[in-house]
Chains A and B, each alone.
Chain A
């Protein structure tokens, strides 16, 4: 009996050791980023230490009080939320259709949507740049350097992901519920809003948050397709790297700030994460 108890205790110790180690490993880079953001440029070259002895607030106040930087932040927020909303709604419709109708070639369409996420981004920058500057334009206005342009563009990699995620959720909602509602005289839209959406809420929440995070974090396209007005915070990060010295402190401060919004959202949907991420892969 005693050995069994010891074994169990050891198991617990092992478990906690694992998780504490993991937490440290997870937090260290982010903590280091924060440490760097607390130092002035000349302090950065002192011997590396993990302690924060003094806090160089200018790294934060500098960018935060800069209107240009505020605009970047606002653009990022606008673009990410806009894209996440658009993607969630489109994916809801699309997966509802894929899941409840016998559309010819539905599987192929489903797979095709996913392939959109696979393209190596670099070579696709040029065609998208041309599309945005020369095709989608009305008079002086073009999609280039607009938030709308980025919102649409991020669908390329967010929508496939969202459709995949939502497809699983949709398939998991028993069709009998639709039928019951239908027998009660509900129309398609009513079924969608009153039956499907509430049941798919965890999936919708997780789709929304993941799309938001991906869109908030995207760099390459944002850097190419914006100029002054629609630049996002990640492109702002690259501006700190210059020939006359990278301003690591401010860069780290901006990176720290840029984590916060997505983090806030993530904490709000914590409870949904596990139920939402099934991808419909497990069917009972």
Chain B
């Protein structure tokens, strides 16, 4: 370690700005999708499943939404 190396300050975010109101990186968007998926499933089980619609419908919808968020968010 005799040679001096330039040191750079960390960059705050390497993310990008999509339609979400904050800067996000891929992991953030996956995280957001999962959070939405879990929340939606719970609400679905409470309010919609008793009406006869399977929770799998919710899962499919959430996966589509998730893909969209990860790609464009």
A–B direct touch in complex (beta carbons closer than 8 A):
yes
Give chain A's interface residues, CB within 8 Å of chain B: 98-102, 104-108, 175, 178-179, 182-188, 190
Place the interface of chain B in its size category. 10 to 19
Q: Do residues B13 and A107 form an inter-chain contact, with CB atoms below 8 A?
A: yes
Q: In the complex, given contacts A102-B8, A184-B4, what are 17 additional A-B residue pairs having Cβ atoms less than 8 angstroms apart? A: A100-B10, A101-B10, A102-B10, A106-B10, A107-B13, A108-B25, A108-B27, A108-B28, A108-B31, A175-B9, A179-B6, A182-B5, A182-B6, A185-B1, A185-B4, A187-B1, A190-B1
Q: Which of A98, A105, A107, A185 has the most CB of B within 10 A?
A: A107
Known: A108-B25, A108-B27, A108-B28. A179 touches B14 (CB 8 A): no
Q: Using Cβ atoms and an 8 Å threshold, which residues of chain A touch B51?
A: none
CB-defined A-B contacts under 8 Å, sample of 7: A101-B10, A102-B8, A108-B25, A108-B28, A179-B7, A185-B1, A190-B1
Chain B interfacial positions (CB closer than 8 Å to A): 1-2, 4-11, 13-14, 25, 27-28, 31
Which of chain B's residues have a CB closer than 8 A to the CB of A108?
Answer: 25, 27-28, 31
Instruction: Report A36 CB to chain B, min CB distance, Å.
Output: 46
Q: Which residue of A lies closest to B12 (CB)?
A: A107
From B6, B7, B9, B28, residue with most partner A Cβ within 10 Å: B7
Partner of A99, one of B10, B13, B25: B10
Point out the residues of chain A lying under 8 angstroms from B1, CB to CB. 185-188, 190
**Residue picked from B4, B5, B10, B14, most chain A C-beta under 10 Å:** B10
In the assembled complex, the CB of A67 is this many whole angstroms from the nearest CB of chain B, namely: 51
Q: In whole angstroms, how far apart are the Cα atoms of A179 and B8 in the complex?
A: 9
